[in-house]
Amino acid sequence: MNVAVVGATGYGSGELVRILSRHPHVKIHSLVSSSRAGERLGTVFPHLAHLEHTLEEWNVDKLAKQVDVVFFAAPAGVSSEWLPPLAEEGVVAIDLAGDFRLEPEVYQQWYGQNPPPTAWLNQAQYGLSEWNAEAIAQADVIANPGCYPTAALLALLPLVQAGALEATPLVIDGKSGISGAGRGLKLGSLFGEVEGNVFSYKVGKHQHTPEMERILALWGKESHRVIFTPQIVPMSRGILVTGYGKLRQGWSEKDLRDCWKAAYEQAPFIRLLEEDRWPRTKEVRGSNFCDLQLHVDHRTGHVVLAAAIDNLVKGAAGQAVQNLNLRMGWPETAGLTMDPLFP
Ligand SMILES: NC(=O)C1=CN([C@@H]2O[C@H](COP(=O)(O)OP(=O)(O)OC[C@H]3O[C@@H](n4cnc5c(N)ncnc54)[C@H](OP(=O)(O)O)[C@@H]3O)[C@@H](O)[C@H]2O)C=CC1
Ligand SMILES: CC(=O)N[C@@H](CCC(=O)OP(=O)(O)O)C(=O)O
C-alpha cells in the first residue's frame, strides 16, 4: 500500500518514516515538504540517510492518483485546507494535528484557527486506538489524538467509564520532552533554556484541555472539568502524565486495577506495571508502549494515576500507524514491534 507524509522535515514525519520504512505492508511513496522539496531525506534527517527518498512538493492530483493513505504531520490549520480535496478522491487521511479532534467552535477558540469543513469534520473518527478500534476500521479521516490526551485518557477512561471517580475536576500534570514542541526554532526550545530547567507553559489555556474533557464526556459518559498543567523537562522525548481524581465511596485500589485489566486485556501496547513500579519515560522511549500505574491515597480519598509514553511514538507517529493497521485490518502491531531504547 502506498502512503505519503505531509510535513516531511518535522519530527512527527521523521518518526513516521522510521516506523513505516519497516512496515511489512507499506511503501513510502511520497514525502511532501513545503520548504525543502527536491532535497534528499538524508540531508534533512541524517539518521535516515540510508533510505532513498527525495522530498516533493504538494501536488494533490498526483497524490490522489498514486497513494492510498496520507499522514498529515504539519501544524494546525494545514490539514483543514489540504485534507478535504484528497479525501474527496478516496484517499484515507490520518491527521496528527488537532484540526479534526474538536467541535468547530472549540477548535476555533483554543487553536485560533478556522475549523475544517463541517462535512469532513463529521466524517472524522478520534484515533485513540484502544478505545475506538471499530470506528477507526471504517474511517476515512482519522484524527490522531494529542500527545498529552493519549497518556491521560488511557489512564483515566476505564475509571471514569466505571463511575469510580466523583464528577469533580480532574487534576492533570504533564511533563514533556522538548521534541513535543516540534523541530522549528523557537525561544523556549533552545538548549540553553531547556537544559537544567523545568517550567510550566500555557497554564489554563493548553489546547489539549478541551480534547480531554470532550473524550471523557463522550466515552467516559461523565463530564469532568480538567485542570491541566503542562511542563517542559530537560529531555528530548517522553511524556509523563500524573492525574488526581476523587474516588467515589466504596472503590478500592483492587477495583480500579480490575477496571484497567478489563479495559486493556487485549491491548498489546498497554503495560500495567507491577504494584509500586512507577512509569518512567526511559522505559517506553522509542516504542509504542504506554506504561500505567495507580495508587489510592486513603488519607484523602483520591486516586493518583501515572502514564508514560514516548510523545513521538504512542503520542504521535506510532499511534498513527496503529490506526492505519486498524483501518486496513492488519495486525495492530504491524511495524510497531520495536522495543524501547534503554538507557
Ligand atoms: N511533536 C510531538 O510530540 C507531537 C506533535 N503533534 C502534532 O503533529 C504535527 C507535527 O508535529 P511535529 O512534527 O512535531 O512538528 P514540526 O514543527 O517538527 O514539523 C511540522 C512540519 O510541518 C511542515 N509545515 C510547517 N508549516 C507548514 C505550512 N504552513 N504548510 C505546510 N506544511 C507546513 C514543515 O515541514 P515542511 O517544511 O517539510 O513542509 C514542518 O517541519 C503538529 O500538528 C503537532 O502539533 C502531535 C502529537 C505529538
Ligand atoms: C512540549 C510541547 O510544546 N508540546 C506541544 C504539543 C503540541 C501538540 O501536539 O499539539 P496538537 O496536539 O495540538 O497538535 C504543546 O504543548 O503545544
Q: What is the pLDDT of residues 164-209, one digit of tens each?
A: 999 999 999 999 999 999 999 888 899 999 999 999 999 999 999 9
170 within 8 A of 244, measured Cβ to Cβ = yes
Cβ of 225 closer than 6 Å to ligand 1, yes or no, is no
144 CA to centre of ligand 2 in angstroms:
13
Cβ of 11 closer than 6 Å to ligand 1, yes or no, is yes
From the CA of 310, the nearest ligand is 1
Domain-by-domain residue ranges, the chain?
Answer: 2-123, 147-312
pLDDT at site 186: 87
**CA-CA distance, 180 to 177, in Å (whole number)?**
6
315 within 8 A of 154, measured Cβ to Cβ = no
Cβ of 174 closer than 6 Å to ligand 2, yes or no, is no
Residue 201 CA: which ligand 2 atom is closest?
A: 16
pLDDT at site 187: 84
Residue 318 — very low, low, confident or very high, per pLDDT cuts 50/70/90? very high
Provide DSSP, 170-223. EEEEEEE-GGGG-SS--TTSSHHHHTT--EE-STTT-THHHHHHHHHHHHSSS-
Residue 176 CA: which ligand 1 atom is closest?
A: 3
Average pLDDT estimate for 292-302 = 97
232 within 8 A of 201, measured Cβ to Cβ = yes
Cβ of 176 closer than 6 Å to ligand 2, yes or no, is yes
**CA-CA distance, 229 to 81, in Å (whole number)?**
30
Q: What is the pLDDT of residues 106-116, one digit of tens each?
A: 999 999 999 99
What pTM did the predictor assign?
Answer: 0.98
What number is the ipTM of this complex? 0.99
**CA-CA distance, 93 to 79, in Å (whole number)?**
9
- Nearest CA to 67 out of 78, 76, 79, 58 is that of 58
- Topology at the third CATH level for domain 147-312: Dihydrodipicolinate Reductase; domain 2 (3.30.360)
Q: What is the pLDDT of residues 238-287, one digit of tens each?
A: 999 999 999 999 999 999 999 999 999 999 999 999 998 999 999 999 99
48 within 8 A of 55, measured Cβ to Cβ = no
- Nearest CA to 129 out of 311, 290, 310, 7 is that of 290
Q: Which amino acid is at 99?
A: D
182 CA to centre of ligand 1 in angstroms:
6
79 CA to centre of ligand 1 in angstroms:
11
Cβ-in-10-Å burial (0-12, 13-18, 19+) of 67 comes to: buried
Report the SS3 class of residue 56: strand
Residue 98 CA: which ligand 1 atom is closest?
A: 43
Q: What is the pLDDT of residues 33-71, one digit of tens each?
A: 999 999 999 999 999 999 999 999 999 999 999 999 999
193's grid cell? 533554556
Q: Give the rounded percent of residues in the chain with a pLDDT score beyond 90.
A: 98
Q: Which CATH number fits domain 2-123: 3.40.50.720, 3.30.390.50, 1.10.287.1770, 3.40.50.2000?
A: 3.40.50.720
pLDDT at site 327: 98
From the CA of 35, the nearest ligand is 1
75 CA to centre of ligand 1 in angstroms:
5
Residue 221 — very low, low, confident or very high, per pLDDT cuts 50/70/90? confident
Residue 184 CA: which ligand 1 atom is closest?
A: 17
6 CA to centre of ligand 1 in angstroms:
9
Place of cell 473518527: 125
* Catalytic residue ranges: 147
From the CA of 189, the nearest ligand is 2
| ∠ Cα 73 77 79 (to 5°) | 50
**CA-CA distance, 122 to 120, in Å (whole number)?**
5
